[in-house]
Amino acid sequence: MLSIGIGEIQKNSSIFSNLTEVMQIIDKRKKQVLAMVYPVQTTSIVDSLAGKYKNKIKATTLSFEEIKNEAMASAMEEKYGLSS
């Protein structure tokens, strides 16, 4: 378990982005534990959020830009009746 003071957090707040174990935030003057900080779980929650539909979603190899362009072209076709 890591112990860190408030001043150290103020100097270097990137400690939180690289946190891998539990950390105590301590007030060194009063010698009190102010907070316990736990690292974020790195497991994906997509499967739990998708529920019963997770097997119905088709995987794609398209990039985000390609998907965005296709969606824009489809929207323009619906709105203006144009095809490219």
pLDDT per residue over 17-33, tens digit each? 878 888 999 998 898 99
Name every residue whose Cβ is closer than 8 Å to that of residue 82 and which is 6 or more positions away in sequence.
76
Residues 24, 34: Cα–Cα separation, whole Å? 7
Q: Is residue 33 part of a domain?
A: yes
Residues 14, 11: Cα–Cα separation, whole Å? 9
Tens-digit pLDDT profile for residues 41-82? 666 666 677 777 777 777 778 888 999 999 999 998 888 886
Name the residue range of residue 15's domain. 2-37
Q: Is residue 23 part of a domain?
A: yes
pLDDT band at 3 (very low <50, low <70, confident <90, very high): confident
Residues 84, 14: Cα–Cα separation, whole Å? 47
Q: Is residue 61 part of a domain?
A: no
Domain count for the chain: 1
Can you list the alpha helix ranges (DSSP code H) found in 12-57?
46-50
Q: Is residue 14 part of a domain?
A: yes
pTM (predicted TM-score): 0.45
> Which residue in the block uniquely carries the two structure tokens 């400690």?
15
